[in-house]
Structure 1
Amino acid sequence: MAAGDGGRAVVHALHALVRAEARAEAQAAGAEAADLEQAVWLRLLERRTGPGMPEDPARWVRAAVRAEARTARRRARRERAYTGGESPADWAGCPERIAVGADERRALRTAVGRLPGRCPRLLEAMLAPHDPTYREIAGELGMSQGSLGPMRSRCLGCLRRMLAAEVVAPELRGKER
Protein backbone atom coordinates (compact mmCIF):
# COMPACT_ATOMS: atom_id res chain seq x y z
CA MET A 1 0.00 0.00 0.00
CA ALA A 2 1.62 3.22 -1.08
CA ALA A 3 1.58 6.27 1.12
CA GLY A 4 -0.84 9.11 0.47
CA ASP A 5 -3.50 8.88 -2.23
CA GLY A 6 -2.49 5.37 -3.35
CA GLY A 7 -3.29 3.99 0.10
CA ARG A 8 -6.60 5.82 0.17
CA ALA A 9 -7.48 4.45 -3.25
CA VAL A 10 -6.83 0.88 -2.10
CA VAL A 11 -8.91 1.36 1.03
CA HIS A 12 -11.71 2.91 -1.01
CA ALA A 13 -11.56 0.09 -3.58
CA LEU A 14 -11.55 -2.72 -0.98
CA HIS A 15 -13.98 -1.23 1.53
CA ALA A 16 -17.13 -2.85 0.12
CA LEU A 17 -15.42 -6.23 -0.34
CA VAL A 18 -14.01 -6.28 3.21
CA ARG A 19 -17.42 -5.36 4.64
CA ALA A 20 -19.28 -7.99 2.56
CA GLU A 21 -16.80 -10.78 3.36
CA ALA A 22 -16.81 -9.93 7.08
CA ARG A 23 -20.60 -9.96 7.19
CA ALA A 24 -20.69 -13.29 5.37
CA GLU A 25 -18.26 -14.97 7.80
CA ALA A 26 -19.25 -13.29 11.08
CA GLN A 27 -22.26 -15.36 12.09
CA ALA A 28 -20.59 -18.71 11.48
CA ALA A 29 -17.54 -17.52 13.39
CA GLY A 30 -19.60 -16.29 16.32
CA ALA A 31 -18.04 -12.85 15.95
CA GLU A 32 -19.18 -9.36 15.15
CA ALA A 33 -18.73 -8.36 11.51
CA ALA A 34 -17.16 -5.07 12.60
CA ASP A 35 -14.52 -6.95 14.61
CA LEU A 36 -13.58 -9.06 11.60
CA GLU A 37 -13.44 -5.95 9.42
CA GLN A 38 -11.18 -4.19 11.85
CA ALA A 39 -8.83 -7.17 12.06
CA VAL A 40 -8.54 -7.33 8.28
CA TRP A 41 -7.80 -3.61 8.01
CA LEU A 42 -5.11 -4.03 10.64
CA ARG A 43 -3.59 -6.89 8.64
CA LEU A 44 -3.58 -4.71 5.55
CA LEU A 45 -2.00 -1.86 7.48
CA GLU A 46 0.71 -4.21 8.73
CA ARG A 47 1.39 -5.23 5.12
CA ARG A 48 1.90 -1.57 4.30
CA THR A 49 4.99 -1.51 6.48
CA GLY A 50 5.98 -5.08 5.56
CA PRO A 51 5.81 -6.92 2.22
CA GLY A 52 3.57 -4.34 0.55
CA MET A 53 0.32 -4.62 -1.31
CA PRO A 54 -0.78 -8.16 -2.26
CA GLU A 55 -0.81 -8.98 -5.97
CA ASP A 56 -4.49 -9.96 -5.93
CA PRO A 57 -6.12 -7.74 -3.28
CA ALA A 58 -9.57 -9.33 -3.58
CA ARG A 59 -8.18 -12.83 -3.05
CA TRP A 60 -6.05 -11.58 -0.16
CA VAL A 61 -9.13 -9.96 1.51
CA ARG A 62 -11.13 -13.18 1.27
CA ALA A 63 -8.26 -15.20 2.75
CA ALA A 64 -7.67 -12.65 5.50
CA VAL A 65 -11.34 -12.56 6.52
CA ARG A 66 -11.51 -16.36 6.63
CA ALA A 67 -8.32 -16.50 8.71
CA GLU A 68 -9.72 -13.97 11.17
CA ALA A 69 -13.00 -15.92 11.33
CA ARG A 70 -11.07 -19.12 12.17
CA THR A 71 -9.21 -17.24 14.91
CA ALA A 72 -12.52 -15.95 16.30
CA ARG A 73 -14.00 -19.47 16.32
CA ARG A 74 -10.97 -20.85 18.19
CA ARG A 75 -11.15 -17.99 20.68
CA ALA A 76 -14.89 -18.56 21.22
CA ARG A 77 -14.27 -22.24 22.00
CA ARG A 78 -11.56 -21.40 24.57
CA GLU A 79 -13.11 -18.40 26.27
CA ARG A 80 -16.18 -18.39 28.43
CA ALA A 81 -17.74 -15.04 29.21
CA TYR A 82 -18.71 -14.12 32.75
CA THR A 83 -22.45 -13.91 33.07
CA GLY A 84 -23.80 -11.65 35.75
CA GLY A 85 -26.64 -14.10 36.32
CA GLU A 86 -24.47 -16.72 38.03
CA SER A 87 -25.74 -17.64 41.45
CA PRO A 88 -23.60 -16.92 44.52
CA ALA A 89 -23.29 -20.69 45.04
CA ASP A 90 -21.15 -20.80 41.89
CA TRP A 91 -18.65 -18.53 43.65
CA ALA A 92 -18.80 -20.17 47.08
CA GLY A 93 -15.35 -21.77 46.87
CA CYS A 94 -13.65 -18.86 45.13
CA PRO A 95 -10.73 -17.68 47.33
CA GLU A 96 -11.02 -14.09 46.10
CA ARG A 97 -14.73 -13.98 46.91
CA ILE A 98 -14.10 -15.46 50.38
CA ALA A 99 -11.38 -12.91 51.14
CA VAL A 100 -13.41 -9.94 49.90
CA GLY A 101 -16.49 -11.12 51.81
CA ALA A 102 -14.48 -11.50 55.02
CA ASP A 103 -13.03 -8.00 54.62
CA GLU A 104 -16.48 -6.53 54.00
CA ARG A 105 -17.98 -8.28 57.03
CA ARG A 106 -15.06 -7.16 59.22
CA ALA A 107 -15.40 -3.54 58.08
CA LEU A 108 -19.16 -3.60 58.64
CA ARG A 109 -18.87 -5.06 62.14
CA THR A 110 -16.17 -2.51 63.03
CA ALA A 111 -18.36 0.35 61.80
CA VAL A 112 -21.41 -1.02 63.66
CA GLY A 113 -19.32 -1.14 66.84
CA ARG A 114 -18.61 2.60 66.57
CA LEU A 115 -22.29 3.57 66.39
CA PRO A 116 -23.78 5.53 69.33
CA GLY A 117 -26.27 4.34 71.96
CA ARG A 118 -28.10 1.06 71.52
CA CYS A 119 -27.44 0.90 67.77
CA PRO A 120 -24.51 -1.54 67.99
CA ARG A 121 -26.54 -4.08 69.99
CA LEU A 122 -29.58 -3.73 67.74
CA LEU A 123 -27.68 -4.12 64.45
CA GLU A 124 -25.55 -6.99 65.82
CA ALA A 125 -28.77 -8.77 66.76
CA MET A 126 -30.18 -8.15 63.28
CA LEU A 127 -26.95 -9.37 61.65
CA ALA A 128 -26.95 -12.58 63.71
CA PRO A 129 -26.30 -15.68 61.59
CA HIS A 130 -29.45 -17.47 62.81
CA ASP A 131 -31.64 -14.64 61.33
CA PRO A 132 -33.82 -13.88 64.37
CA THR A 133 -37.36 -12.48 64.10
CA TYR A 134 -38.32 -9.01 65.35
CA ARG A 135 -40.02 -10.68 68.35
CA GLU A 136 -36.80 -12.51 69.29
CA ILE A 137 -34.70 -9.35 68.88
CA ALA A 138 -37.13 -7.29 70.97
CA GLY A 139 -37.04 -9.92 73.74
CA GLU A 140 -33.24 -10.07 73.65
CA LEU A 141 -32.86 -6.28 73.85
CA GLY A 142 -35.73 -5.71 76.32
CA MET A 143 -37.63 -3.26 74.13
CA SER A 144 -41.01 -3.21 72.38
CA GLN A 145 -41.28 -4.86 68.99
CA GLY A 146 -42.95 -1.74 67.53
CA SER A 147 -39.92 0.46 68.27
CA LEU A 148 -37.45 -1.84 66.49
CA GLY A 149 -38.30 -0.58 62.97
CA PRO A 150 -37.88 3.15 63.67
CA MET A 151 -34.76 2.55 65.75
CA ARG A 152 -33.30 0.29 63.07
CA SER A 153 -33.98 3.01 60.50
CA ARG A 154 -32.19 5.66 62.60
CA CYS A 155 -29.24 3.33 63.24
CA LEU A 156 -28.87 2.44 59.57
CA GLY A 157 -29.05 6.14 58.64
CA CYS A 158 -26.30 6.89 61.14
CA LEU A 159 -24.22 3.98 59.79
CA ARG A 160 -24.76 5.16 56.21
CA ARG A 161 -23.61 8.71 57.06
CA MET A 162 -20.59 7.41 58.96
CA LEU A 163 -19.50 5.12 56.12
CA ALA A 164 -20.07 7.83 53.47
CA ALA A 165 -17.76 10.16 55.40
CA GLU A 166 -15.05 7.48 55.42
CA VAL A 167 -15.08 6.92 51.66
CA VAL A 168 -11.98 8.46 50.13
CA ALA A 169 -12.66 10.96 47.37
CA PRO A 170 -10.77 10.21 44.14
CA GLU A 171 -7.78 12.38 43.32
CA LEU A 172 -8.27 15.09 40.73
CA ARG A 173 -6.57 14.52 37.40
CA GLY A 174 -6.00 16.53 34.25
CA LYS A 175 -8.17 19.59 33.67
CA GLU A 176 -10.09 19.13 36.93
CA ARG A 177 -7.40 20.90 38.96
Structure 2
Amino acid sequence: MTELRTASMSPPWEGLEGRDRYAACLVAARSGDRRALDVLVAELTPLVWHVARGNGLDRSTAEDVVQTVWLALLRHLDRLTEPRALVGWLITTTRREANRTRRRGTTNVELPPELAEQLPGGDGLPEPEVLRDERDRQLWAAFHRLPQRCQELLRMTVLAGRVEYRAVAEAMHMPHGSIGPTRGRCLSSLRSLYDGEAGR
Protein backbone atom coordinates (compact mmCIF):
# COMPACT_ATOMS: atom_id res chain seq x y z
CA MET A 1 0.00 0.00 0.00
CA THR A 2 2.89 2.35 0.87
CA GLU A 3 4.53 1.64 -2.51
CA LEU A 4 1.27 2.41 -4.33
CA ARG A 5 0.87 5.70 -2.46
CA THR A 6 4.48 6.66 -3.20
CA ALA A 7 4.08 5.88 -6.89
CA SER A 8 0.97 8.06 -7.14
CA MET A 9 2.47 11.03 -5.28
CA SER A 10 3.28 14.13 -7.31
CA PRO A 11 6.97 14.77 -7.91
CA PRO A 12 8.45 17.43 -5.58
CA TRP A 13 9.06 19.86 -8.46
CA GLU A 14 5.48 19.84 -9.73
CA GLY A 15 3.88 23.28 -9.49
CA LEU A 16 7.22 25.00 -8.88
CA GLU A 17 8.84 27.42 -11.30
CA GLY A 18 12.28 28.72 -12.13
CA ARG A 19 15.04 28.35 -9.58
CA ASP A 20 12.84 26.46 -7.09
CA ARG A 21 11.75 23.94 -9.74
CA TYR A 22 15.30 23.21 -10.88
CA ALA A 23 16.57 23.00 -7.30
CA ALA A 24 13.86 20.44 -6.45
CA CYS A 25 14.77 18.45 -9.56
CA LEU A 26 18.45 18.52 -8.67
CA VAL A 27 17.80 17.28 -5.12
CA ALA A 28 15.54 14.53 -6.46
CA ALA A 29 18.13 13.55 -9.09
CA ARG A 30 20.73 13.20 -6.33
CA SER A 31 18.40 10.70 -4.67
CA GLY A 32 18.30 8.67 -7.87
CA ASP A 33 15.05 9.96 -9.39
CA ARG A 34 15.65 9.59 -13.13
CA ARG A 35 12.51 11.61 -13.95
CA ALA A 36 14.01 14.65 -12.25
CA LEU A 37 17.14 14.45 -14.38
CA ASP A 38 14.97 14.07 -17.50
CA VAL A 39 13.10 17.27 -16.57
CA LEU A 40 16.37 19.20 -16.16
CA VAL A 41 17.74 17.96 -19.47
CA ALA A 42 14.49 18.66 -21.34
CA GLU A 43 13.97 22.14 -19.92
CA LEU A 44 17.53 23.44 -19.72
CA THR A 45 19.20 21.92 -22.79
CA PRO A 46 17.92 24.77 -25.03
CA LEU A 47 19.58 27.27 -22.71
CA VAL A 48 22.86 25.33 -22.64
CA TRP A 49 22.69 24.97 -26.45
CA HIS A 50 22.25 28.68 -27.05
CA VAL A 51 25.01 29.64 -24.64
CA ALA A 52 27.32 27.28 -26.55
CA ARG A 53 26.25 28.68 -29.93
CA GLY A 54 26.49 32.23 -28.64
CA ASN A 55 30.10 31.60 -27.71
CA GLY A 56 31.10 31.04 -31.32
CA LEU A 57 30.58 27.31 -31.85
CA ASP A 58 29.11 25.75 -34.96
CA ARG A 59 26.16 23.37 -34.66
CA SER A 60 28.15 20.14 -34.45
CA THR A 61 30.66 21.48 -31.92
CA ALA A 62 27.87 22.97 -29.82
CA GLU A 63 26.18 19.56 -29.66
CA ASP A 64 29.42 18.07 -28.30
CA VAL A 65 29.70 20.85 -25.71
CA VAL A 66 26.09 20.33 -24.58
CA GLN A 67 26.79 16.63 -23.99
CA THR A 68 30.00 17.45 -22.13
CA VAL A 69 28.17 19.92 -19.86
CA TRP A 70 25.46 17.39 -18.93
CA LEU A 71 28.11 14.76 -18.23
CA ALA A 72 29.92 17.28 -16.02
CA LEU A 73 26.69 17.87 -14.10
CA LEU A 74 26.28 14.14 -13.54
CA ARG A 75 29.84 13.96 -12.21
CA HIS A 76 29.28 16.95 -9.90
CA LEU A 77 25.71 16.19 -8.88
CA ASP A 78 26.60 15.74 -5.22
CA ARG A 79 29.09 18.61 -5.16
CA LEU A 80 26.75 21.46 -6.08
CA THR A 81 26.29 23.02 -2.66
CA GLU A 82 23.53 25.41 -3.74
CA PRO A 83 20.86 23.64 -5.85
CA ARG A 84 19.12 26.97 -6.58
CA ALA A 85 22.26 28.13 -8.42
CA LEU A 86 22.01 25.31 -10.99
CA VAL A 87 21.17 27.54 -13.98
CA GLY A 88 24.12 29.81 -13.27
CA TRP A 89 26.39 26.78 -12.89
CA LEU A 90 25.24 25.41 -16.26
CA ILE A 91 25.81 28.75 -18.00
CA THR A 92 29.28 29.20 -16.49
CA THR A 93 30.28 25.61 -17.27
CA THR A 94 29.00 25.91 -20.85
CA ARG A 95 30.92 29.15 -21.43
CA ARG A 96 34.14 27.62 -20.10
CA GLU A 97 33.76 24.46 -22.17
CA ALA A 98 32.86 26.49 -25.29
CA ASN A 99 35.93 28.71 -24.85
CA ARG A 100 38.15 25.69 -24.28
CA THR A 101 36.73 23.97 -27.36
CA ARG A 102 37.02 27.10 -29.49
CA ARG A 103 40.68 27.54 -28.55
CA ARG A 104 41.37 24.04 -29.88
CA GLY A 105 40.22 25.05 -33.36
CA THR A 106 38.48 27.82 -35.24
CA THR A 107 34.79 27.44 -35.99
CA ASN A 108 32.38 29.23 -38.27
CA VAL A 109 29.24 30.57 -36.66
CA GLU A 110 26.00 30.26 -38.61
CA LEU A 111 23.59 33.15 -38.59
CA PRO A 112 20.71 32.23 -36.25
CA PRO A 113 17.50 31.87 -38.35
CA GLU A 114 15.54 34.25 -36.14
CA LEU A 115 18.05 37.05 -36.67
CA ALA A 116 18.17 36.35 -40.39
CA GLU A 117 14.38 36.74 -40.57
CA GLN A 118 14.73 40.33 -39.39
CA LEU A 119 16.65 41.28 -42.53
CA PRO A 120 15.66 41.73 -46.17
CA GLY A 121 16.11 38.54 -48.21
CA GLY A 122 18.41 38.24 -51.20
CA ASP A 123 16.28 35.81 -53.20
CA GLY A 124 16.44 36.31 -56.93
CA LEU A 125 19.67 38.30 -56.73
CA PRO A 126 22.94 37.18 -58.34
CA GLU A 127 25.53 35.30 -56.31
CA PRO A 128 23.22 34.60 -53.34
CA GLU A 129 25.97 32.89 -51.32
CA VAL A 130 28.24 35.94 -51.50
CA LEU A 131 25.35 38.23 -50.60
CA ARG A 132 24.37 36.01 -47.68
CA ASP A 133 27.95 35.99 -46.40
CA GLU A 134 28.12 39.78 -46.62
CA ARG A 135 24.75 40.12 -44.86
CA ASP A 136 25.94 37.81 -42.07
CA ARG A 137 29.18 39.78 -41.70
CA GLN A 138 27.25 43.05 -41.41
CA LEU A 139 24.78 41.52 -38.96
CA TRP A 140 27.51 40.16 -36.68
CA ALA A 141 29.29 43.53 -36.80
CA ALA A 142 26.03 45.18 -35.70
CA PHE A 143 25.40 42.47 -33.10
CA HIS A 144 28.77 43.07 -31.45
CA ARG A 145 27.96 46.78 -31.14
CA LEU A 146 24.90 46.00 -28.98
CA PRO A 147 25.22 46.37 -25.19
CA GLN A 148 26.55 43.16 -23.63
CA ARG A 149 23.23 42.47 -21.89
CA CYS A 150 21.36 42.60 -25.21
CA GLN A 151 23.88 40.27 -26.81
CA GLU A 152 23.46 37.81 -23.95
CA LEU A 153 19.67 37.98 -24.04
CA LEU A 154 19.46 37.46 -27.81
CA ARG A 155 21.88 34.55 -27.64
CA MET A 156 19.79 32.80 -25.02
CA THR A 157 16.33 33.38 -26.51
CA VAL A 158 16.67 32.18 -30.08
CA LEU A 159 14.19 29.37 -29.41
CA ALA A 160 11.97 31.76 -27.46
CA GLY A 161 9.97 28.95 -25.84
CA ARG A 162 8.13 29.44 -22.55
CA VAL A 163 10.46 27.18 -20.60
CA GLU A 164 13.54 28.81 -22.06
CA TYR A 165 12.27 32.26 -21.05
CA ARG A 166 11.88 31.07 -17.47
CA ALA A 167 15.44 29.76 -17.42
CA VAL A 168 16.77 32.93 -19.06
CA ALA A 169 14.95 35.08 -16.49
CA GLU A 170 16.69 33.10 -13.73
CA ALA A 171 20.09 33.27 -15.43
CA MET A 172 19.92 37.00 -16.12
CA HIS A 173 18.19 37.97 -12.85
CA MET A 174 15.31 39.58 -14.74
CA PRO A 175 11.56 39.30 -14.13
CA HIS A 176 10.07 36.64 -16.39
CA GLY A 177 7.59 39.14 -17.87
CA SER A 178 10.32 41.55 -18.96
CA ILE A 179 12.22 39.06 -21.14
CA GLY A 180 9.94 39.43 -24.19
CA PRO A 181 9.74 43.26 -24.21
CA THR A 182 13.48 43.61 -23.55
CA ARG A 183 14.21 41.12 -26.31
CA GLY A 184 12.01 43.12 -28.68
CA ARG A 185 13.91 46.33 -27.88
CA CYS A 186 17.22 44.53 -28.42
CA LEU A 187 16.06 43.25 -31.81
CA SER A 188 14.96 46.78 -32.78
CA SER A 189 18.38 48.13 -31.78
CA LEU A 190 20.04 45.37 -33.77
CA ARG A 191 17.95 46.23 -36.82
CA SER A 192 18.92 49.90 -36.56
CA LEU A 193 22.59 49.06 -36.15
CA TYR A 194 22.41 46.64 -39.07
CA ASP A 195 20.81 49.30 -41.28
CA GLY A 196 23.73 51.56 -40.36
CA GLU A 197 26.24 48.83 -41.24
CA ALA A 198 24.52 48.02 -44.52
CA GLY A 199 24.42 51.72 -45.48
CA ARG A 200 28.16 52.16 -45.12
TM-score, scaled to structure 1:
0.34
Higher-Rg structure is 1
Q: TM-score, normalised by structure 2?
A: 0.30
